[in-house]
Homo-oligomer: A and B are copies of this chain.
Amino acid sequence: MTTPHVVVIGGGFGGLSAAKALRRAPVRVTLVDRTNHHLFQPLLYQVATAGLSPSDISVPIRWALRAQRNVTVRLGDVTRIDVAARALHFAGEPEPLTYDYLIAAPGSRHAYFGHDAWEPLAPGLKSLDDALEIRRRFLLAFERAEHATSDAEREALMTFVIVGGGPTGVELAGTMVEIAHRAMPRDFRRIDTRRSRVVLLEGGPRLLPTFPEGSSDRARRDLERLGVEVRTGASVTDIAPGVVTVGDTRIASHAVFWAAGNQASPLGASLGVPLDRAGRVLVEPDLSIPGHQEVFVVGDLAAVKRNSHSWVAGVAPAANQEGTHAARNLIRLVQGAPTRPFAYLNKGDLATIGRNRAVAVFGRLRVDGILAWLLWVFVHIMYLVGFRNRAIVLFEWAWAWLTFQRGVRLITGGTPSGAVRA
């Protein structure tokens, strides 16, 4: 009997934990990703706000799996899953890759709710390239404001709009306002960066809708104290170059950032099974898909029932637990044993707001302020992969905390690289 071939799509939290859980299994594993790195997405907003370098929150996937001899890592862009033929198709490669078992964890992208024209005007935050683009626009706005020729232009350049009041939006707003008010003032001569506006727009009635109301209130109060203009019940109706429209209000801004929603990977559609509105696969209790016990879906692409009235959130700990669970069920199948249903263990929710400020929820226990912030720091350092990344992130945070500066204020990628610096 030949060794079964397991293909894992995605080197994010779900895919990487699945591959690791197959360490001692009698299978050979191929992990496929479009990028060469595992990305610690919870800290991606810090790359977007010049606090961390891309390499601080990522490791090469093949380095993370270097000691696991039954895994081969492959760089490739999966375009379609053919469940009938048990094969994956890649962009630009004629040969499909066949599997005996599949664990699909391709993740999600930000969604514009039918307004795809907004994407170039309001970039979202999912990949390192996204983060560098947001960083570029954020830093470039101050450079342009310094040499603006009218008050109106200067004010529009110094207005930053963040759409979406979930954890990512709250974190971006809190960090951007701190940089404008504390890190930048001495560096400019013609503008007072402390007069920058950071506007956080949330369509629903409160920030952090997945947290208890007390945390939402606290987050709003903390952000407002930092200088963020928080507007709830504020649905964006249009985004045009230089203008964000919210109902009757027009906000002049050249730097709009999108943190308002996700759409699961389009690969889900190629599975031929029912999807939810966000494009997520409605998986069976054991995380396989209906009609194909050999195919598991985990992470942001999976719609996993938590109980009769709620779903498991698309967060890193959930993807980790699902990846591990799917791998264990896969081993049970290989051994001819029945699979087991997945049960999510929520260890708690954390969102940071700014220097010394965060909110945390553990079951019925709510923690705010500096204690929550210290917990947040500890948990994020602990879950980073590799000693190097932990050490450098800790150093960057200590330096930023002490000096209010940000270490990665680089504008790259926007100028043609082929010409002479002038």
A interface list, Cβ under 8 A from B: 9-10, 12, 32-37, 53-56, 58, 60, 62-63, 66-67, 69, 71-79, 106-109, 119, 126-130, 132-133, 139-140, 143-144, 146-147, 186-190, 265-267, 387-389, 391-392, 395-396, 399, 405, 407-413, 415, 417-422
Contact = CB atoms under 8 A, between A and B. Distances in A.
A316 to B, nearest CB: 14
Contact of A72 (B132, B189, B417): B189
B422 A265 contact: yes
Nearest to A136: B36
B34 A415 contact: yes
A186 B66 CA distance: 6
Contact of A54 (B109, B130, B410): B410
Contacts of A9: 422
B127 A36 contact: no
A380 B10 CA distance: 40
B62 A407 contact: no
15 contacts: A33-B422, A35-B411, A36-B139, A36-B409, A36-B410, A53-B408, A60-B410, A63-B187, A63-B405, A66-B187, A71-B189, A77-B422, A78-B422, A132-B412, A392-B396
A130 B417 contact: yes
Q: Which of A34, A71, A132, A417 has the most CB of B within 10 A?
A: A417
Q: Which of A67, A395, A412, A419 has the most CB of B within 10 A?
A: A412
A375 to B, nearest CB: 26
A69 B186 CA distance: 9
A75 to B, nearest CB: 4
Contacts of A132: 412
A265 B420 contact: yes
A83 B327 CA distance: 71
A119 B418 contact: yes
Contacts of A266: 420
B417 A107 contact: no
Given A34-B419, A55-B407, 10 more contacts: A9-B422, A53-B55, A55-B408, A55-B410, A107-B421, A126-B421, A128-B410, A128-B412, A387-B399, A392-B395
Contacts of A410: 36-37, 54-55, 58, 60, 128
A396 to B, nearest CB: 8
A229 to B, nearest CB: 26
A267 B388 contact: no
Given A36-B139, A392-B392, A409 B63 contact: yes
B10 A421 contact: yes
Top 8 A-B pairs ranked by shortest CB distance? Answer: A129-B417, A53-B53, A78-B422, A55-B408, A265-B420, A62-B187, A36-B411, A75-B143
A422 B411 CA distance: 28
Contact of A421 (B35, B147, B187): B35
Given A146-B74, A189-B72, A391-B395, A409 B10 contact: no
Contacts of A387: 399
A75 B147 CA distance: 9
Given A37-B410, A130-B417, A139-B36, A267 B60 contact: no
B267 A421 contact: no
A356 to B, nearest CB: 21
Q: Which of A76, A266, A420 has the most CB of B within 10 A?
A: A420
A409 B77 contact: no
Contacts of A127: 417, 421
A221 B407 CA distance: 39
A254 B188 CA distance: 45
A93 to B, nearest CB: 9
Nearest to A418: B119
A106 to B, nearest CB: 5
A133 to B, nearest CB: 7
Contacts of A405: 63, 388
Given A12-B421, A33-B422, A63-B187, A399 B395 contact: no
